[in-house]
Amino acid sequence: MTAVRTRFAPSPTGYLHLGGARTALFAWAYARHFGGTFVLRIEDTDLERSTPEAVQAIIEGMQWLGLHHDEGPFYQMRRMDRYREVLAGMLEEGTAYYCYSTPAEVEAMRERMRAAGDKPRYDGTWRPEPGKTLQPVPEAIKPVVRFRNPLDGDVTWHDVVKGTITISNRELDDLVIARPDGTPTYNFCVSVDDWDMRITHVIRGDDHVNNTPRQINILNALKAPLPLYGHLPMILGADGEKLSKRHGAVSVMDYPAQGFLPEAMLNYLARLGWSHGDDEIFSMEQFCAWFDLDHLSKSAAQFNPEKLAWLNNHYIKLTDNAKLAEMTHALMMADGAQFAAAPDPAAVMGLMKERVNTLNELADAAMLFYRQPAPDAALLAQHLTEAVKPALRDYLQRCATIEWSKAALAAMLKEVLAAHSLKMPQLAMPMRLMLTGQLQTPSIDAVVELFGREVAIARIEKFLA
Ligand code: GLU
């Protein structure tokens, strides 16, 4: 069997969006599954819409996801000599021809066909045929080059996602493959590249299905081997509409900024249009081992931000606490965190990570321990009543000597509650306010333990004076 070679071939006209990243992931995983080669090709021939910033954004997005390419990036704009060489060969062999019809003439012939109820196409005026005499070449006109598409028969391919697709050659025009200035056009460049780069499997979005028969015909004319094609259905928003900004971030690189982990994004994208039984959570290693083209879905996948958040929570919980502390450090600094005389950030991460969906939420939650508490006066008056102050004094006194562990603190708090005939919230709520300035925190014993003996006592004492 030939070694598997796949490619991701983005046009650098914007950011790397979720659909593009999913295409890249599947092409990458397929190459990895077979120990093959994953090629990155930048299709930058649309000079008006391509930008170096977009190239950078695509490369950054792939790097963030860890979808490393083995070859490339190849830039189509740097391959012009090669395209010209192939064009020259085709002109010589007669699989392509110069067409001197002017744009106005082409428009007029299309109009005529539309009027006659036919599909508008080039009428073949300049198409060479055996025994046909062409008109004299008009000197003032710079010709385009057209591909000499077969007139009869069908193009059939077995799409690994969509099944067998057949298109009649009558549906296909004699495609312009080079403009009057000699620059090659899209379908031609893709075909030459897939041939030169020895691509065995073309996995791409199904917006390219219409291009495939044209590319197959060009490859056949070049006597190039045909790759297998698989066209992935679109990703839709939860409302069934085409995914757009309305559905949340569409650019992959918006996700790290919101505190998503690449593991979560990869795992999420992997399940958009592919399945392995009921498995929802798996590593990329596992995915590459499983990934095949037999379990790709024929129907459009729906983007579900809640599921992505759920996976992100899962991967945050799996991440080492010290690593999480590192990852949230800059966010917390920007929020004014004071790390001196404060709990160990790794321990705080360990306590807070259960309940958050993003690193940004984690940083927010952790700030509890790194800012001076400023409880609302009215709230404090409501919870810190004269009735509970003696119990709090008792609690502080015991704090001074108790073994500093969550279990010991919990047992001690229960004793204090019993001794003063109070219920848990009667002590826990004012303590939360005094320690952190807020009423919502993890278990009070965990919070007290993390602050440490000195800070915990000092913060509560201040309000009891
Ligand atoms: N450059 C095309 C795009 O960005 C992809 C072409 C292909 O995969 O064949 O949509």
Q: Is the CB of 406 under 6 A from ligand 1?
A: no
Residue 412 lies in a domain: yes
More confident residue, 455 or 247: 455
pLDDT on residue 2: 79
Residues 447 and 385 in one domain: yes
| pLDDT tens sequence across 114-139 | 999 988 889 999 999 999 999 999 99
> Percentage of the chain with pLDDT > 90?
95
| Inter-residue contact 4 to 288 (CB < 8 Å) | no
Options 245, 353, 406, 462, the catalytic residue: 245
Residues 359 and 405 in one domain: no
Mutate to test the pocket of ligand 1, among 40, 43, 210, 228 (most ligand atoms within 8 A of CB): 43
CATH number of the CATH domain containing 425: 1.10.10.350
Residue 402 lies in a domain: yes
pLDDT on residue 35: 97
- Quick one: pLDDT band at residue 262, thresholds 50, 70, 90? very high
Mutate to test the pocket of ligand 1, among 42, 49, 79, 190 (most ligand atoms within 8 A of CB): 190
- Quick one: pLDDT band at residue 1, thresholds 50, 70, 90? low
Question: Three-state SS for 238?
Answer: coil
Residue 222 lies in a domain: no
Task: Tell me the residue range of the domain where 426 lies.
Answer: 377-464
Does pLDDT of 249 surpass 80? no
Residues 388 and 343 in one domain: no
Q: Is 223 a catalytic residue?
A: no
| pLDDT tens sequence across 387-421 | 999 999 999 999 999 999 999 999 999 999 999 99
| pLDDT tens sequence across 312-361 | 999 999 999 999 999 999 999 999 999 998 999 999 999 999 999 999 99
pLDDT on residue 245: 76
Residue 391 lies in a domain: yes
Residue 331 lies in a domain: yes
How far, in Å, from the CA of 202 to the mean position of ligand 1? 10
Residues 364 and 426 in one domain: no
Residues 361 and 388 in one domain: no
The two tokens of residue 382 are 């409501």
> Percentage of the chain with pLDDT > 70?
100
| pLDDT tens sequence across 281-310 | 999 999 999 999 999 999 999 999 999 999
Q: Is the CB of 43 under 6 A from ligand 1?
A: yes
pLDDT on residue 247: 78
Residue 442 and residue 436: Cα distance in Å, rounded? 11
Instruction: Tell me the pLDDT of the chain averaged across its residues.
Output: 96
| pLDDT tens sequence across 35-47 | 999 999 999 999 9
Q: How many domains does one find in the chain?
A: 2
**Smallest Cα–Cα separation from 408: which of 418, 398, 394, 417?**
398
pLDDT on residue 244: 77
Per-residue pLDDT, averaged over 184-209, amounts to 97
Residue 418 lies in a domain: yes
Residues 326 and 397 in one domain: no
| Inter-residue contact 404 to 451 (CB < 8 Å) | no
Residue 204 and residue 159: Cα distance in Å, rounded? 11
Q: Looking at 344, 369, 394, which one is the last position of a domain?
A: 369
- Quick one: pLDDT band at residue 258, thresholds 50, 70, 90? very high
Q: Looking at 369, 394, 428, which one is the last position of a domain?
A: 369
Q: Is 276 exposed, middle or buried (0-12, 13-18, 19+ CB in 10 A)?
A: middle
Does pLDDT of 167 surpass 70? yes
Does pLDDT of 378 surpass 80? yes
pLDDT on residue 246: 78
- Quick one: pLDDT band at residue 242, thresholds 50, 70, 90? confident
